[in-house]
Each structure stands twice: as structure tokens, then as C-alpha cells.
Amino acid sequence: MNFCSQCGHPVHQAIPDGDDRLRDVCSFCGTIHYSNPVIVAGTLPVQGSRVLLCQRAIEPGYGLWTLPAGFMENGETTVEAALRETREEAGAQVQNAMLYTVLDIPRFNNVYMIFRSELEGDFSAGTESLDVALFDEKDIPWDQIAFETVRRTLKLFFEDRVHGHFPLHQDVIR
């Protein structure tokens, strides 16, 4: 950030009174500008023995496979964000979404929240996907998974499925 979004004057870095971190502070109007981590919400759509993956049509990870997920928007809930991304990227409806993995990536200031869910009916690639397909565990393209968050969530799911118990998992990706 170079300029104040309120008044357009330059900002400088300073530790405000009562704070202990450098912030972008406006040199003119004094507004303190905060920057905070962003939630990435998505789903793990399951149908019978298979899970749905999307092949990315955009960078980063063009051509690699991922779960439908994206930035949560203002005005929506985490579940709504996850379902919207699933519609947009996979043309898919899901139900019974249950929070399954919460994965912090402090390096990128992201918090992933992935909801295990039941795929309902048909699906089709959205504009951000080259392809959308269902995979059995043995067919998962492990060397072509776009993100560690997705790899981690899939591994946990197949482990938990052995016992039929899917507790929330929280972890950090450094």
C-alpha cells in the first residue's frame, strides 16, 4: 500500500499508540490501514466411493487438479462461499456440507476451510476449470495435485474413511 484509500495522500509505516505492529498510517488524515488473512473456502464433494476434482484452467497450477475452492466474499458465510465456489468451478451442487479441514498457511496469509459434502447430480467445468471428474482413491493423480491443502485434505479423507469417522482436522502448512 502506497496511498490512503480514504483521502489519497501517501501512507507511511508506523506503530500506532497502543499497538505493537507496523501499520500503514495516512500522513494526512491519520487513518490506520489494517491487512488481515483471507479465508479460502471450498468443498470435498463425495459421490459413492469417488471424490470430485477440478483441473485448473488458470494459474497458479494450470493443468493441475484441485478441490473447488476460492476466496470468501463479504456478505456470505463460510458454507455459502464453499457452495458458491463449487457451483462456479465444478458446476456442481452439494449437500450436508460439514467443516472438515482448517489449514493455516501463514506464509500466504490464507486460512483454508474445506467442507466434506455429498455431490448431488451432475457437474460440468466452469470457466476456471479445464475439466471436472470423479476419482476413486487408486486413481487420484497425486503428482498432479495443485496445492498442499488439497493433497492434505484428500489424504485425511481416505484415512478417515477406513474407520467411517471424519473429525475436524486443523493443521498448519509452513
Q: Count of CB atoms within 10 A of residue 80's CB?
A: 14
Give Cβ neighbours of residue 139 (< 8 Å, ≥ 6 apart). Answer: none
Give Cβ neighbours of residue 8 (< 8 Å, ≥ 6 apart). Answer: none
Give Cβ neighbours of residue 96 (< 8 Å, ≥ 6 apart). Answer: 117, 118
Indicate whether 16 belongs to the interface with a second copy (CB under 8 A): no
Q: Exposure of 130 by Cβ count < 10 A (0-12 exposed, 13-18 middle, 19+ buried)?
A: middle
Q: Of the two residues 27 and 124, which places its CB atom closer to Zn ion in the complex?
A: 27
Using the contact rule CB under 8 A, the part of the chain among 44-52, 61-69, 71-79, 129-137 near a second copy is 71-79
Using the contact rule CB under 5 A, the part of the chain among 27-35, 70-78, 84-92, 93-101 near Zn ion is 27-35
Indicate whether 130 belongs to the interface with a second copy (CB under 8 A): no
Site residues (CB under 5 A) for Zn ion?
4, 6-7, 9, 26, 28-29, 31
What residues make contact with a second copy under the rule CB under 8 A? 1-11, 18, 21, 33-39, 71-80, 99, 102, 104, 106, 109, 111, 113, 127, 168, 170, 172
